[in-house]
Amino acid sequence: MTPVRAWDAFTSAEAEVRAMVADPRWQGLSVADRAHVLAARILVTPDGDRWLFGAHARWHLHDPADGRWHLAPPPRGVRPRQVQHPAAVLPGDVIPHGPDFHAEPGSTQAFVGPDVSEDLTERLRVLLRASGRKSELDYPLTAFDEIFASDVPSTVAAIWGTIMWCAYAPAFDGNERLITVFGEYLRRSLPGDEWVRWLPAPPLLDLVTLVSERQRAGHPRAALRLAAVMADTAQILMSDTRFRPRALALLTMVEPMLRLPGLIGATSLGRRAAACVTSGAPCECDHKHAPTVAEALREAWLERCPRRLCRALLVENDPAAHFSHTVYDLVEALAFMPDPPMAAATFLADLSDSKGALPARLDHRLRRAYEELDRAGLTGTSASESTEPEGFPVPGRVLTKPAPPLEVAPPDRASTAAVLGAAYATGLAWGRLTGAKVPQSGLAGQTALVRRVVHERDDNHTDHT
């Protein structure tokens, strides 16, 4: 007899809300009516916490201290009860508008795990080889010049930038084939430790700059060629879930430009940007702060992206919300731990937070765990310097992190990759939000976790799809 799965209130409530939002009538409801039906489905756990499955198809936790709702995955193995609550307790930003429920789920795995498929790597290698034959005089390097040598054409940089922008967490291990194909073009060795390359995630503006510079210089065909290279790269990356959400978003932004070469943007901002790009005149798209042509073009690209892909673009449009989503991913990736919030706090403790802004951005469970680590002197460890026993400083290294109260031990390599990916994405998101630098050698907690798997071969693992 097939075993019957135990009924779970969180799963049931999630299914109910998904069905309501998918119903065509949902779009016809007022915000007040949507809040009313959602408030009837709030769950309360035995500890008094209130949970709602809402915007972005994610769970939200009510903070009793200030009444805010934080993104937070629910606990499992507890028996919540459904209690009627007044709709007034729900702010507008937790109420689904519909398209946000269609976001691509993607994958939080870093590349410390199953390699990118051989087929994907080979297709990118062929594209890179053809792009590398372009002249740097026709395609000058106007971005990513800290990565590539000066004689490398920007067509190569367009492929690199697309890969790094689309990656959920660009952390590559020593066996990773995808970045080794760039070896002959690099200015210097890639940053990272002896095994993992913790690479920076470029802003969309860097990709846009490659295109806008050629357009403004009076070479529209070269600008379209660069946009086409980005689209071709994104199309190839679509087959891997670690790239898919942002690759799909990038395609929706770039492809209209390829179908209609005269199109820069559909809005008035886009039309003004197009005029500026074509004429080479200073752009006056914003009366207060005249943006550069690249900035105006970036805004035009972002405006093309449909609302169903909005989560993939939070990194560009709303860094605070993007950070909250990465924290959510981190707690979810640690679901195998007996206390996921405390485990997540051990990774959040690595972030540099000189202004003390981090705790206020966490839900009250995470905040309590983080503050416990802070009182024990276990926060900000990745921002510290280390010394040898003789007392001489060691440049570029970080302080060995003291043992946290809870050791993170993923049950398998896939779980390890998911934790490393989510933790690194959180560090990058925090840097985008606050300007804090992520150490090139990785965050302390991640480095400790890598040491658990560094001895394992991964070049014979099943391809990740």
State the pLDDT confidence band at 263, using cuts at 50, 70 and 90.
Answer: low
**What is the rounded CA–CA span in Å between residue 358 and residue 241?**
29
Domain boundary among 270, 290, 316: 316
Mean pLDDT over each residue of the chain, to the nearest integer: 85
Question: Which has the minimum average pLDDT: 214-223, 258-267, 420-429?
Answer: 258-267
Angle in degrees, 0-180, between the axes of helices 244-259 and 293-304, rounded to the nearest 10: 110
Burial class (CB in 10 A: 0-12, 13-18, 19+), 368: middle
pLDDT above 70: percentage of residues in the chain: 84
Locate 290 and state its tokens. Answer: 């005249």
**What is the rounded CA–CA span in Å between residue 298 and residue 212?**
9
Average pLDDT over residues 421-432: 96
Domain boundary among 316, 333, 353: 316
State the pLDDT confidence band at 443, using cuts at 50, 70 and 90.
Answer: confident
pLDDT of residue 438: 86
**E strand or H helix that includes residue 118:** helix 118-132
Query: What is the pTM assigned to this prediction?
Result: 0.88
**What is the rounded CA–CA span in Å between residue 445 and residue 240?**
27
Average pLDDT over residues 345-360: 94
- Whether residue 244 sits in one domain with residue 137: yes
**What is the rounded CA–CA span in Å between residue 332 and residue 203?**
26
Contacts made by residues 320-326, CB under 8 angstroms, sequence distance 24+: 320/361, 320/433, 322/429, 322/432, 322/433, 323/361, 323/426, 323/429, 323/430, 323/432, 323/433, 324/70, 324/71, 324/361, 325/56, 325/58, 325/71, 325/429, 326/422, 326/425, 326/426, 326/428, 326/429
pLDDT of residue 433: 96
Q: Which residues of 261-281 are buried (b: 16+ CB within 10 A; e: fewer)?
A: eeebbeeebbebbbebbeeee
Average pLDDT over residues 330-358: 95
pLDDT of residue 396: 43
State the pLDDT confidence band at 176, using cuts at 50, 70 and 90.
Answer: confident
Q: Which residues of 232-251 are buried (b: 16+ CB within 10 A; e: fewer)?
A: bbbbbbbbbbbbbbbbbbbb
- Whether residue 327 sits in one domain with residue 306: no
| Beta-bridge partner residues of 61 | 51, 70
- Whether residue 338 sits in one domain with residue 284: no
Burial class (CB in 10 A: 0-12, 13-18, 19+), 460: exposed
- Whether residue 287 sits in one domain with residue 139: yes
HSE-CB of 414 using CA atoms within 13 angstroms: 8
Residue 403 confidence (pLDDT) above 50? yes
CA dihedral 22, 88, 39, 96 (to 10 degrees): 20
Q: Is residue 463 part of a domain?
A: no
71, amino acid identity? L
Q: Which residue has the higher pLDDT, 89 or 275?
A: 89
Residue 372 confidence (pLDDT) above 80? yes
**What is the rounded CA–CA span in Å between residue 191 and residue 189?**
6
Q: Is residue 2 part of a domain?
A: no
Locate 8 and state its tokens. Answer: 């779970």
Nearest to 287 by CA among 303, 301, 269, 264: 269
Q: What is the DSSP letter of 148?
A: B
- Whether residue 384 sits in one domain with residue 291: no
State the pLDDT confidence band at 70, using cuts at 50, 70 and 90.
Answer: very high
Q: What is the DSSP letter of 52?
A: E
pLDDT of residue 358: 96
Average pLDDT over residues 219-242: 96
Question: Which has the minimum average pLDDT: 175-189, 250-264, 367-381?
Answer: 250-264
- Whether residue 239 sits in one domain with residue 225: yes
Q: Is residue 3 part of a domain?
A: no
Nearest to 449 by CA among 412, 415, 408: 408
pLDDT above 90: percentage of residues in the chain: 62
Q: What is the DSSP letter of 334?
A: T
Instruction: Of 168-172, 278-282, 459-463, give the range with the top mean pLDDT.
Output: 168-172
Measuring CA to CA, how many Å separate 334 from each of 291, 345, 414, 452?
42, 11, 12, 16
Question: Which has the minimum average pLDDT: 21-25, 263-267, 369-373, 451-455?
Answer: 263-267
- Whether residue 381 sits in one domain with residue 306: no
State the pLDDT confidence band at 192, using cuts at 50, 70 and 90.
Answer: low
Q: Is residue 169 part of a domain?
A: yes
Residue 142 confidence (pLDDT) above 70? yes
Q: Is residue 137 part of a domain?
A: yes
pLDDT of residue 229: 98
Question: Which has the minimum average pLDDT: 38-47, 189-198, 237-246, 423-432?
Answer: 189-198
- Whether residue 299 sits in one domain with residue 216: yes
The vertex-428 CA angle with 423 and 433, nearest 5°, equals: 125
pLDDT of residue 462: 46
Residue 361 confidence (pLDDT) above 50? yes
Residue 279 confidence (pLDDT) above 60? no
Q: Is residue 254 part of a domain?
A: yes
419, amino acid identity? V
- Total structural domains in the chain? 3
- Whether residue 303 sits in one domain with residue 176: yes
pLDDT of residue 442: 82
Average pLDDT over residues 24-42: 93
Q: Which residue has the higher pLDDT, 171 or 322?
A: 322
Average pLDDT over residues 203-219: 95
- Whether residue 428 sits in one domain with residue 303: no
Q: Is residue 112 part of a domain?
A: no
- Whether residue 324 sits in one domain with residue 298: no
Residue 459 confidence (pLDDT) above 70? no
| Full residue range of the structural domain in which residue 306 is found | 118-316
**E strand or H helix that includes residue 327:** helix 319-333
State the pLDDT confidence band at 289, using cuts at 50, 70 and 90.
Answer: very low
Domain boundary among 77, 102, 127: 102
- Whether residue 181 sits in one domain with residue 127: yes
pLDDT of residue 405: 66
Q: Is residue 458 part of a domain?
A: no
**What is the rounded CA–CA span in Å between residue 280 and residue 276?**
5
Question: Which has the minimum average pLDDT: 55-59, 202-206, 347-351, 396-400?
Answer: 396-400
